[in-house]
Chains A and B, each alone.
Chain A
Amino acid sequence: MIEHPWLIPLAPLLAFAINGLLGPRYLKKATGVIGSAGILAAFLLTVWLWAEGEYGEATLFEWLASGSLAINIGFLVDELTVVMLLVVTGVSFLVHVYSIGYMAHDGSFARFFAWLPLFVFSMVMLVMANNFLSLFVFWELVGVCSYLLIGFWHDRESANNAAMKAFLVNRVGDFGFAIAIFMIFWNFRTLEYGAVFAQVGQADPETVLVIALLLFVGAMGKSAQFPLHIWLPDAMEGPTPVSALIHAATMVTAGVYMVARMAPIFEVHTTALLVVGGVGAFTALFAATIAVVQTDIKRVLAYSTVSQLGLMFLALGAGVYTAAIFHLATHAFFKALLFLGSGSVIHAMHDEQEMTRYGGLRRKLKWTYGTFLVGGLALSAIFPLAGFWSKDEILAGAFMRGASLDGDGLFIVFWALGLAASLLTAFYTFRMVIMTFHGDPRDAELHERAHESPAVMVAPLALLAVLAMGAGAVLGFPPEHGLIHDFLHHAPGILHFELTGNQTIIAISLAVISTAVALLGALGAYMIYSRGAPRAESIGQFVPGMHSLLYRKYHIDEIVNYGIVATTKVLGFILWAIDAKIVDGIANLIGWTVRALGGAARQVQTGQVQNYVFLMALGAVVSVGALMIFR
């Protein structure tokens, strides 16, 4: 299998080609099956690759050779790649199957099943890249797929704007990423991972720090870290399976993957790690506070995703890469589950996404409720579900990093931020669960028509629920020495945490603390929303103005709109005016001047003979006069 790693991306690519070319006219509903089959093939091939356990690099073809630059398209397959591939293809497959049901009544069914495999192809290529250019290429391609899928319902103005916003914010991130790549080339004269990593040790640490920070800007864009997080909540305009797959489970984790992959670059300078951890911890808490007051079920989940991604970056910053990847995997399971569950609810409620119109759905949507609850518990990191294991490791890692002698004390602060985020996570998760499934129906008519989703949608939910329940314990127990740890142990550049005796006690007490905090959050949500009439403004009672600030997402969208978008437009307008009036004006002025001079000169020719005679005579007289005077 290792000789032919290109087979894995080939399967979804074929699905894309078949569905894209033949789908709209001939295949129609069959595209769903073809798409799912392609992804399943990719998943099975990945499993095969994993089972064989042989890893390495392979070059596919020479992309470009010019002067001193030679770039090959190739594949790097190692443990990290395999974990990512398993998560990506596995979750993708489930989402594809789910989409067959979810999108069944959509007029553009075939188009959907063309773009989705294209996304999987790009994502697979992204994680398999063995050089920076390939990474960047597919990094952008997943962005385009995201653009196409967010704007899938293109007659919605909001969807178009969201798609554009997603692409542009990502471009801003890619701006940093691209600069990093160019700097890497001119500093190391190569773009291959291995060759670059081998040289970073000898390079100027400051330069490497700049490169690392620029790479991180790219990661921030893709993984929606503050302040480049603004596109992700809007991206929920896309169909819910897209939100589940791209904007929760896979694409947005590309940034985490990238930083983990580039660990040797980030490790060179501790400032880089500090920035990564700081941005992550801040975003985790920041997004969680916003999630607390949102009433659109998908937006709550979107902010939750931003928050969880923040935790992953906290882990990366703290140096516990395994924990980051571990959380990436478990998060993929339970967040995909939550999104698909919310999709099932939205489907049942006829495309209504406002939680204020939900309520009391648990009797009508039994399966959805059950699986959603599992997902919620996992997200809240309640023992022993998946989220607990990975999140606990992150928080422990951050604390240890802060407490250890060579660590940075700031990580204790980050740990506290993460802990606060956990509290809020549990709070908003249960707020969401309670508002959706408990209490009395708030919109009787919608409630009346609600119905459980078909089996093709429920089955993936059930499978994901199983994963969300068991994956943490299976992969992550015992802590620091679970399956995933041992597996990733072999991956290059992944650092490890070895616990000594008394640190085990600290670790256990940290786990107890974070579980207690999570339970506290859940209890809080129960206290506020389960008793009496649940009101979204409840939290506003504590601090006046707080609710509005949070509900408006700290006004960041407005700041960006007026600060950056409007400024750019005004600048463009001014430059246009300069271009049209001054630059072109000068050209026209020259033309006009020549014409005017010609016009003036033309006036001398009146057409009257006597004028001409006069000029002739004048010339003669003046000449003679000059001759007389100056001879």
Chain B
Amino acid sequence: MADSLNAYLYVGAILFALGMLGVLVRRSLIVVLLSMELMLQGVNLTMGAFGVFNEDMGGYMLTLASLTIAASESVVGLAILVVVSRKARELYTDRMDGMKW
């Protein structure tokens, strides 16, 4: 089981799907951001597994890149969150609908 690629992919898929569920259904902005990190966990796992099982360093590279992006993304995302929190006390996604038309 531990030496089967499919098993890792399953876990990655589940993590990704759960993350997406969190992004879609949670009202709290910070939890949405957390869920995105969760999705990235799934992605990292998948890519890492491909790298190991295909004996290719490319997988490692992609995982590293994904890590970098996750870091940048969370930094910027949290900065935006701070700004938003200054404008409006509430950080519920369904109350932020100014960006339309």
Contact = CB atoms under 8 A, between A and B. Distances in A.
Q: Do A and B interact directly, with beta carbons closer than 8 Å?
A: yes
Given A614-B24, A617-B20, A617-B24, A602 B101 contact: yes
A610 B94 CA distance: 8
A606 B97 CA distance: 6
Interface in A581-631: 602, 605-610, 613-614, 617
Contacts of B20: 617
A614 B99 CA distance: 16
B93 A610 contact: yes
Contacts of A608: 93-94, 96-97
A613 to B, nearest CB: 6
A469 to B, nearest CB: 95
B23 A613 contact: yes
Contacts of B23: 610, 613
A605 B24 contact: no
B100 interface: yes
A617 B21 CA distance: 10
B98 A607 contact: yes
Interface string B75-101: 000000000000000000110111111
A610 B96 CA distance: 10
A609 B100 contact: no
Interface residues of B, number: 13
A607 B100 contact: yes
Interface string B37-70: 0000000000000000000000000000000000
Interface residues of A, number: 10
B101 A610 contact: no
A597 to B, nearest CB: 15
A609 B93 contact: yes
B18 to A, nearest CB: 13
Contacts of A614: 24
Which of A610, A613, A614 has its CB near the most chain B CB atoms (within 10 A)? A610
A474 to B, nearest CB: 96
Interface in B22-41: 23-25, 32
Contact of B24 (A602, A607, A610): A610
Contacts of B97: 606-608
A359 B1 CA distance: 137
B97 to A, nearest CB: 3
A613 B24 contact: yes
A607 B95 CA distance: 9
Which of B93, B96, B98, B100 has its CB near the most chain A CB atoms (within 10 A)? B100
A605 B99 CA distance: 8
A614 B20 CA distance: 9
Contacts of B99: 607, 609
B101 A609 contact: no
B24 A606 contact: no
Contacts of B24: 610, 613-614, 617
A617 B100 CA distance: 19
A602 B100 CA distance: 8
Contacts of A613: 23-24
A613 B94 CA distance: 13
Nearest to A621: B20
B100 A605 contact: yes
A598 to B, nearest CB: 10
Nearest to B101: A602
Nearest to B23: A613
B101 A605 contact: yes
A613 B20 CA distance: 9
Contacts of A610: 23-25, 32, 93-94
A606 B93 CA distance: 12
A284 B20 CA distance: 102
Nearest to B99: A607
Nearest to B98: A607
A615 to B, nearest CB: 11
B27 to A, nearest CB: 9
A610 B31 CA distance: 13
A602 B93 CA distance: 19
B87 to A, nearest CB: 15
Contacts of A607: 96-100
26 contacts: A602-B100, A605-B100, A605-B101, A606-B97, A606-B100, A607-B97, A607-B98, A607-B100, A608-B93, A608-B94, A608-B96, A609-B32, A609-B93, A609-B96, A609-B99, A610-B23, A610-B24, A610-B25, A610-B32, A610-B93, A610-B94, A613-B23, A613-B24, A614-B24, A617-B20, A617-B24
Given A605-B100, A609-B93, 12 more contacts: A602-B100, A602-B101, A605-B101, A607-B96, A607-B98, A607-B99, A607-B100, A608-B93, A608-B96, A609-B96, A610-B93, A617-B24
Q: Which 8 A-B pairs have the closest CB atoms?
A: A607-B97, A607-B100, A605-B100, A607-B99, A608-B97, A610-B93, A614-B24, A609-B93
